[in-house]
Amino acid sequence: MSSLLHYYKAVLERERNDLVTAMEFAKVAQKEAMQSGTYHLLPLIYAEMAIISIMSGRRKRAINYINKARSNINPYKETVYYLYYLMENVDFHQKMEEISKAETFKKLLADLAEKRGILGLIK
């Protein structure tokens, strides 16, 4: 299977609140992305791993994933900064609630684009 397919499975499991399975799929997606050379997907996968970690209550691990995602320059960089902002500036329970409201990662990107006024980010 491709790393993108495992990423989508991780998102689906997170939405079902099965965080352990979601993290397993995300880790498989990460390994496949590194082995297949699709490094442009890594920030997206790391950001998903950060969301899962936040929802699991593992803040330090989430910060590590966010820093890994931030080290890559890509279109998802703004979203990673937004997640980092949430972790630093918002009450933890409010963060979990806000992130869990996002039905998919694309929805989170759309929310960010709307807040920042970057309407061309999501098509």
Annotated domain spans of the chain: 3-121
Name which of 43, 51, 47, 50 is nearest 72 in CA terms.
Answer: 43
Residue 60 CA: distances (Å) to CA of 63, 65, 84, 86, 94: 5, 9, 12, 14, 17
pLDDT of 120 strictly over 60: no
pTM exceeding 0.85: no
pLDDT of 32 strictly over 80: yes
Domain at 3-121, CATH class: mainly alpha
Structure tokens at 32: 């496949």
Interatomic CA distance for residues 8 and 29, integer angstroms: 9
pLDDT single digits (tens) 91-105: 655 655 665 555 555
**Which of the residue ranges 15-24, 30-39, 108-117 would you say has the lowest mean pLDDT?**
108-117
Residue 76, H or E segment: none
